[in-house]
Every structure is written in C-alpha cells, then in structure tokens.
Amino acid sequence: MPELTHILNAATRGEPQAAEQLLTLVYEELRKLAAHKMAREAPGQTLQATALVHEAWLRLGGDQQPEWQNRAHFFTAAAEAMRRILIDNARRKKALRHGGGAERVTLESLDLAAGMDDEQLLALHEALERFAIKDPARAELVKLRFFGGLTLEEAGKVQGISEPTAKRHWAYARAWLYRELQRK
C-alpha cells in the first residue's frame, strides 16, 4: 500500500496534515478490526468498536504520530493498543468494588476469541505475558490473531513468516497457553 507508506513517512517527518490523512486512510480498517474483536466479546460488553478505535488512535499518538517503519509496524502497534485497552477494561470491571473475584478458566480449544468473560480474559492476559517472556514472536502472533482479529495468513505477513510457519507457531502457542491456563 504505497499511499499508506507515504503518509506514514510524512507523519514520521512531522508534516502538518499527515496524522489526519493517516487516520482517514486507516480508520475503516481499524474499525473493522475492532468490530470483529468486539463481536466476539462476551454479552454485556459496554465498550463499542468505535470507542476502541478512537482510544487506540490516541494511544498510538493521535496527531503526534511516532516513527512508523511500515504498514505492518503500524497495525502491530494498533493491535497491541487494542489489546491493552481491552485488558485495562477487564481489570477495571474485575476490581473488588465492581464485584471482582478469581475464577478458574477452562478452554476446550484456544481459538481464543469465543466470547471470553473478564476473568478468562485476564487469566489469558497473564498467561500471555508469561509466554511473551519465553517466546516473544509466538506471543506476538497470538496478540495479532486474538486481539487484532487477523487470520493466520495476515498475522504471518505482518510478522514476515510463511503461513505454514504461522500455523506451527499458532499450534505451539495454543498448546502452551492451554497448559498454563489449566494450572490455575
């Protein structure tokens, strides 16, 4: 996407209208990612896809965009921002004043996004943080798939790996996370 690359470079150079052009260009794609993620959230979720995109945009820098290397770098950061927003929201809702409490998580298959409640999401987040220490690349693949809503093929492209390698990494990550979640 040469136009996006050009605008990312312009934003990096601090050109005045670049951030606005960037938002206009990527808004719809970010909205689709957020809507895809929000559609799989547990019923009763108060956060909406539009709010998730806007909050992610602000966390990405808003009008003061950081230096983006390329499209993949931007969307990886966007997926990470959305992940952190959802985790923060789940933590807030789980706080004791909101009736929080620990609950054991069991997941038959880790296609991960099948309507997890806040406790499950937090348990997954904690396991994913431990996994990221052990294997950052595979943990990033999980974040792109689960929180970014990307397919294996898309996530592989973002990471610069082939689809078969992405499938192997995904299978390993699912097994590792499943084992970790069973320990709780």
Q: What does the pLDDT look like over 63-79, one tens digit per residue?
A: 777 777 887 888 888 88
How far apart, in whole angstroms, are the C-alpha atoms of residue 82 and residue 54? 10
Residue 37 and residue 86 in contact, taking contact as beta carbons nearer than 8 Å = yes
How far apart, in whole angstroms, are the C-alpha atoms of residue 122 and residue 184? 12
What residue type is assigned to position 39 of the chain? A
At 33-65, the pLDDT tens digits run 787 777 766 666 667 788 888 888 888 887 777
Mean predicted confidence (pLDDT) in 87-99: 71
What global pTM score does this model have? Answer: 0.53
Residue 61's SS3 state is coil
How far apart, in whole angstroms, are the C-alpha atoms of residue 121 and residue 103? 11
Residue 24 pLDDT > 60, yes or no?
A: yes
Residue 21 pLDDT > 50, yes or no?
A: yes
Structure tokens at 160: 């610069």
